[in-house]
Amino acid sequence: MFITVFLGVRRHFSIVPVNQKSTITCTAIANGGNAEWDFAFQRYLDSNVAAESSKLLFGLSCSTDPVVLQK
């Protein structure tokens, strides 16, 4: 379910409620693959808002793939 939500989020990331971004990002990263991690990482790099950057960085840390975590 969260992967489906995250795919929708990829198109409309800014409309996700702030208090749900960390949970949705973390769950999608933990259950997704490189595409989800790369998307979140690019959003992190592009972000100028410290709160959003923090939530994305937390979500990126949820990956269970050692190869992805070494990027």
Distance CA 19, CA 28 (A): 16
Residues of the chain with pLDDT > 90, as a percent, come to 24
In this prediction, residue 50 carries a pLDDT of 93
For the record, the structure tokens of 6 come out as: 């995250």
In this prediction, residue 1 carries a pLDDT of 45
Does residue 48 register a pLDDT over 90? yes
Does residue 4 register a pLDDT over 60? no
Q: What is the DSSP letter of 62?
A: T
Does residue 44 register a pLDDT over 80? yes
Does residue 12 register a pLDDT over 60? no
